[in-house]
């Protein structure tokens, strides 16, 4: 059974990543309208939210990477 802190960590990590993806798309849209400085600022904000989200989801990302690697090796050996 996961604790409340683990649930909160996962929720906040996914929320930060979702916000980062949305901000990335907004920055691309703003930059295509010709306002490169604003688009760049929004892109920096998206990176500021991306890395803490990745840090909060670290254990899950590591476990998923291990699972993918094991499946790759298993298929490669066949």
- Name the token pair of 29: 């849209």
Structural domain spans, the chain: 4-77
Helical residues (DSSP H) of the chain, grouped into ranges: 4-32, 36-56, 58-77
Token pair 């892109």: residue: 43
Per DSSP, the three-state class of 78 is coil
- Name the token pair of 43: 């892109």
Give the pLDDT confidence of 35-46 residue by residue, as tens digits: 899 999 999 999
Give the pLDDT confidence of 5-14 residue by residue, as tens digits: 888 888 999 9
pTM of the model: 0.75
pLDDT at 17 over 90: yes
* Cβ contact 42:23 at 8 Å: yes
């Amino acid at each position: 059974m996961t604790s409340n802190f683990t649930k909160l960590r996962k929720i906040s990590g996914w929320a930060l990543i979702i916000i980062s993806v949305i901000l990335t798309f907004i920055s691309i849209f703003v930059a295509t309208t010709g306002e490169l400085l604003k688009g760049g600022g929004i892109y920096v904000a998206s990176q500021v939210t991306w890395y803490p989200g990745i840090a909060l989801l670290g254990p899950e990302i590591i476990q998923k990477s291990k699972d993918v690697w094991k499946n790759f090796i298993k298929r490669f050996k066949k």
